Structure 1
C-alpha cells in the first residue's frame, strides 16, 4: 500500500528536495507552501526526478487551515502515514533587540505549528498502529547560539515537546523524531529577520555575521539534506535524534555531552569576538 506523506515548507531548499525524494521512493506526497504561486521550482525538481507531488497551500501558523487540510488529505487519500514538519523561520537578534511580537512569531512557526500538525495527524496514526512524525529542527535546537535567542528558544522547545511525546507514541507504533541540520545552502538565510540597527551590540553582531557567512560558504547542499530527511522519516530505527550530516552531528554533540554548559560557552564565545 502506498504511503501518504505530508511535508510543509516545500517551496525551496531541503523541504522541496525532501518532498521530491519521498516521492521518488514511492510515497504519495502532499507538499505545502504558503503561496502556491512559488511552486515552479518544486514542479521542476519533481519533473527532473520523474515524479509528481500534490501541491497545496498552507500557512502553518493558521491552525484552522491546517485542520482543514488534514481533513482534505484524509478524504482524498484515506490517511496520513508520514508527517514532515519542515516549515521554519529564522531570526538574528539578541534579547534587547527583539520585540515580543518577533519572539511570538518564532514560537508560532517553529514550535506551535509543528505541535498543531502533530496533534492533528496523531489520532489517525495511533488508531492504525503506525506512523512517522519528523520535525526538522536545527543544531540550534541543541546548541544555544549568539543572536539566535528567539530562534534557538523555539527550536529547543519543539525538541523538548517531541522527545517527550516520542516515549508514549511509540507504544502505538508511531515514531516521533527530530532531525537537526547545520548550515544548508538555501533561501532560509536570505529570509532571516535581522535588526536594522543593533546599537551597542553592532560590533558583536558584525563578528557573528562574518563567522556565519563563512559557515554557509561551506554549507551542505539542500539535496543532501533532503535525502537525510527522507531517510529519517522512513526509518524503522527506534531513534529520536538525527542529523543531516557529519558536521551537524559534531555540532550537536558539543551540547549533548555538556553537563555543566562550559563546553558550549567555549564553543560559541569566539563567534562574537571583535578582536
Structure 2
C-alpha cells in the first residue's frame, strides 16, 4: 500500500527536494507551503516527471490552516503515514538587537509550528496505531552558536519536545519520531539568515561588530581550508530524511554530515542516536 507523506515548507530547499525525492520513491506526497504562488518550480518538476505530488496551502503558524490541510489529506486518503516538519526560517542577530516581534516570529516559525502540526496529526496516527514524525532541526538544536541564540533556542525546544514525546507515543501507539540535524545547507534559507543579520541589524556599528567580523572570517577561513564541502545541498539532506523514513527502527537523532557529527560530538558521543536517553527515561517514569 502506498504511504502518504505530508511535508511542510516545500517551496525551496530541503522541503522541495524531499517532496520530489519521496515521490520518486513511491510515496504519495502532500507538499505544503504558506504561499502556493511560490510553487511554480515544484509544479514544473511534477509535470516533467509525472510525480505523485499534490500541493496544499499550509501556514505552520496558523492552526486553522494546518487543520484544513490535514483534514484534506485524511478525507482523500484516510491516513497520514509520515509527517515531515521541515518549515523553518534562519535568523542570526544578537538578543540585544532583536525586536520583540522578531523574537516571537523566530520562535513561532521554528518551534510553535512544529508543535501545532504535530498536535493536529497525532490523533490520526494514534487511531491508526502507526505513523512517523520526522523533524528537520539543526546542529543548532544541540550546540549553541554565536549570533544564532534565538534560532538555536527554538531548535533546542524542538529537540526537547520531540525527545519527551518519543518516550510514550512510540511504544503505546507505534508512532516513530526522528530529528534530522543538518549543519550548513546551501539554500536560500542560509543566505537570507546572514543577509538579514548584516542589512537589517545594528551589527554594522557598535561593540558587537568586531565579534561579528571575527565570526564571518572564521566561517570563510573554515570554508577555504576544508578539503570537503562544509555545506550540503538540500538534496543531500533530503536523502537522509528518506533513509530515516524507510528505516523500521529509526534513530531519534541523526546528523546529516561528518561536519555536523564533529560539531556535536561532545553532546552526542555517549548516545549518538538518542535512543539510550529515551529508554532510560521510560525506565524512570513509565
Q: For the structure 1 residues 213 and 13, does the alpha-carbon distance in structure 2 shift closer, same or farther, using more than 3 Å as the test? A: farther
Is the contact made by 2:136 and 2:179 (CA closer than 8 Å) also made in structure 1? yes
| 185-194 or 38-47, which deviates more | 38-47
- How many residue pairs get aligned? The number is 258
1:100 shift after superposition: 2.1
Offset from partner CA, 1:221-248 (integer Å, 9 cap, x none)? 2111111111113321142001222222
Q: For the structure 1 residues 55 and 210, does the alpha-carbon distance in structure 2 shift closer, same or farther, using more than 3 Å as the test? A: farther
Alignment partner, residue 202 of structure 1: 209
Offset from partner CA, 1:68-97 (integer Å, 9 cap, x none)? 111111111211110000001111111111
Alignment partner, residue 233 of structure 1: 245
Tell me how far apart the structure 1 counterparts of residues 218 and 137 of structure 2 sit (CA, whole Å). Answer: 21
Offset from partner CA, 1:81-119 (integer Å, 9 cap, x none)? 100000011111111111222111111011110111111
Unaligned runs of 5+ in 2: 271-286
Tell me how far apart the structure 2 counterparts of residues 12 and 48 of structure 1 sit (CA, whole Å). Answer: 17
Offset from partner CA, 1:185-227 (integer Å, 9 cap, x none)? 1110232242432221011112223333566783112111111
Q: Is residue 70 of structure 1 aligned with residue 70 of structure 2?
A: yes
Alignment partner, residue 278 of structure 2: none
Q: Is residue 183 of structure 1 aligned with residue 184 of structure 2?
A: yes
TM-score w.r.t. the length of structure 1 is 0.88
Unaligned runs of 5+ in 1: 259-275
Is the contact made by 1:183 and 1:215 (CA closer than 8 Å) also made in structure 2? no
Q: Secondary structure at the match of 1:22?
A: helix
1:65 shift after superposition: 0.8
Is the contact made by 1:84 and 1:233 (CA closer than 8 Å) also made in structure 2? no
Q: Secondary structure at the match of 2:190?
A: coil
Tell me how far apart the structure 1 counterparts of residues 36 and 130 of structure 2 sit (CA, whole Å). Answer: 30
Alignment partner, residue 82 of structure 2: 82
Q: Secondary structure at the match of 1:11?
A: coil
Tell me how far apart the structure 2 counterparts of residues 46 and 246 of structure 1 sit (CA, whole Å). Answer: 32
TM-score w.r.t. the length of structure 2 is 0.85
| 6-15 or 215-224, which deviates more | 215-224
Is the contact made by 1:141 and 1:156 (CA closer than 8 Å) also made in structure 2? yes
Is the contact made by 2:57 and 2:65 (CA closer than 8 Å) also made in structure 1? no
Q: Is residue 244 of structure 1 aligned with residue 256 of structure 2?
A: yes
1:257 shift after superposition: 4.5
Q: For the structure 1 residues 69 and 90, does the alpha-carbon distance in structure 2 shift closer, same or farther, using more than 3 Å as the test? A: same
Tell me how far apart the structure 2 counterparts of residues 238 and 59 of structure 1 sit (CA, whole Å). Answer: 28
Q: Is residue 153 of structure 1 aligned with residue 153 of structure 2?
A: yes
Q: Secondary structure at the match of 2:107?
A: helix
Alignment partner, residue 36 of structure 2: 36
Computed over aligned residues only, the root mean square deviation of the Cα atoms, in angstroms, reads 1.8
Offset from partner CA, 1:119-149 (integer Å, 9 cap, x none)? 1111111111110001100000000000001
Alignment partner, residue 271 of structure 1: none
Tell me how far apart the structure 1 counterparts of residues 168 and 66 of structure 2 sit (CA, whole Å). Answer: 24
Tell me how far apart the structure 2 counterparts of residues 227 and 37 of structure 1 sit (CA, whole Å). Answer: 26
Q: Secondary structure at the match of 2:118?
A: helix
Alignment partner, residue 60 of structure 1: 60
Alignment partner, residue 10 of structure 1: 10
